[in-house]
């Protein structure tokens, strides 16, 4: 029977990380599992920065964005010495399982840590990019989608008044999950994702066709990883003659109070991870598939590329007619 676990939030923060910390503590403590939080991601772990987490420590945080444990990116951890040092620190604290709330980069680190230390590691997917394989969604994704859509609804007002094209850049350095869902639900005429090439001619043709159909303004949603948004704005303006503006939504998408859906996912993932610790020594990554909780192989999750639902892109184009 295990008696002590560690928790860390790592990589880019995501709204709902706090709800996950709360769920872990509130499921673990009544089952006699002590919970130790490591601050500032793997950087704080390497520096032995700890925060004991009790039932009341996690009170009043379910609605807060960010993470009370703080987070960081830590290149030092991704070295042999870093992993060995982290392993020693965890063993000194008698940690029997480490719960890692983060994205696939953090899970790569967790796998290395497991290989070196033998300590059970459980990944809890939390990233606004939703780019973790084996799960339909991640903690924070729904919040980021809603934040971006609300911002675009406002932009739409001014776009319509002035009859302009708006290029709106959303996050997603490598993947287009956020851009796709935001684009579809904000009614964008064009959605540009890193996974699918699209040349400027075809973008302009879509916008010109749209004007011919008496649409007086247009929304172009572009994932940051697709390319240079300022260049896209300039090219659209030059080739179509339409007045074009660019808004980069940026880190606004990473903050704010988590939506009910993000809190729900966080609560399900966090409590399930604790159940896994109690019932087995298996390492893995928690996920949601067709609204059911699943437990995926850690190596598989890291190796696999999550497919983008191109049907959604087609639907978005069809409905933006």
Q: 12 or 183, CB closer to ligand F6P?
A: 12
Q: 37 or 102, CB closer to ligand ADP?
A: 102
Answer positive or negative: Cα dihedral of 208, 163, 148, 233: positive
Contact of residue 284 among ligand F6P, ligand ADP, none (CB under 5-8 Å per partner type): none
Contact of residue 77 among ligand ADP, ligand F6P, none (CB under 5-8 Å per partner type): ligand ADP
10 Å CB burial of residue 160 (0-12, 13-18, 19+) is middle
Smallest gap from Cβ 300 to ligand F6P, in A, equals: 22
Smallest gap from Cβ 77 to ligand ADP, in A, equals: 4
Are 14 and 20 a contacting pair, CB within 8 Å?
no
Contact of residue 122 among ligand ADP, ligand F6P, none (CB under 5-8 Å per partner type): none
Q: What six digits make up the tokens of 134?
A: 């084996």
Smallest gap from Cβ 6 to ligand ADP, in A, equals: 15
Distance separating alpha carbons of residues 267 and 126, to the nearest angstrom? 12
Contact of residue 105 among ligand ADP, ligand F6P, none (CB under 5-8 Å per partner type): ligand ADP
Strand order in the sheet with 218-223: 190-192, 218-223, 165-170, 244-248
Q: 220 or 266, CB closer to ligand ADP?
A: 266
10 Å CB burial of residue 226 (0-12, 13-18, 19+) is buried
**Rounded (10°) angle between helices 17-28 and 260-279:** 40
| Cβ partners under 8 Å of residue 56, min gap 6 | none
Contact of residue 226 among ligand ADP, ligand F6P, none (CB under 5-8 Å per partner type): none
Active-site annotation holds for 275: no
Binding site for ligand ADP (CB under 6 A): 10-12, 42, 73-74, 77-78, 102-106, 108-109, 112, 127
Q: 45 or 179, CB closer to ligand ADP?
A: 45
The CB-nearest residue to ligand ADP is: 105
Q: 256 or 276, CB closer to ligand F6P?
A: 256
Residue of 13, 104, 129, 131 with catalytic role: 129
Binding site for ligand F6P (CB under 6 A): 12, 127-129, 171-173, 224, 254
Q: Where are the alpha helices (DSSP H) in the chain?
A: 17-28, 41-46, 80-92, 104-117, 141-162, 177-185, 200-212, 229-240, 260-279, 298-303, 310-319
- Residues known to be catalytic: 129
């Amino acid at each position: 029977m295990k008696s002590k676990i560690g928790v860390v939030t790592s990589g880019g923060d995501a709204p709902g990380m706090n709800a996950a910390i709360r769920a872990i503590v509130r499921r673990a403590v009544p089952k006699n599992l002590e919970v130790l939080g490591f601050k500032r991601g793997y950087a704080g772990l390497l520096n032995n920065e700890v925060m004991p987490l009790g039932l009341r420590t996690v009170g009043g945080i379910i609605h807060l964005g960010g993470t009370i444990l703080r987070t960081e990116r830590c290149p030092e951890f991704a070295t042999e010495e870093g992993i060995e040092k982290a392993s020693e620190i965890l063993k000194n604290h008698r940690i029997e399982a480490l719960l890692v709330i983060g994205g696939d980069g953090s899970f790569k680190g967790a796998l290395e840590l497991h290989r070196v230390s033998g300590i059970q590691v459980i990944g809890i997917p939390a990233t606004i990019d939703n780019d973790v394989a084996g799960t339909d969604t991640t903690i924070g994704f729904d919040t980021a989608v809603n934040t971006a859509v609300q911002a675009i609804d406002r932009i739409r007002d001014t776009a319509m008044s002035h009859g302009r094209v708006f290029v709106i850049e959303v996050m997603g350095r490598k993947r287009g999950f956020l851009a796709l869902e935001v684009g579809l639900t904000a009614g964008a005429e064009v959605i540009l994702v890193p996974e699918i090439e699209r040349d400027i001619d075809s973008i302009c043709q879509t916008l010109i066709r749209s004007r011919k159909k008496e649409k007086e303004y247009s929304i172009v949603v572009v994932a940051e990883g697709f390319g240079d948004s300022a260049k896209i704005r300039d090219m659209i303006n030059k080739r179509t003659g339409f007045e074009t503006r660019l808004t980069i939504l940026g880190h606004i998408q990473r903050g704010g109070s988590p939506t009910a859906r993000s809190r729900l996912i966080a609560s399900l993932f966090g409590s399930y991870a604790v159940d896994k610790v109690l019932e087995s020594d298996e390492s893995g990554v928690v996920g949601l598939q067709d609204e059911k909780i699943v437990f995926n192989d850690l190596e598989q999750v890291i190796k696999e590329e999550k497919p983008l639902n191109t049907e959604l892109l087609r639907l978005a184009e069809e409905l933006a007619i």
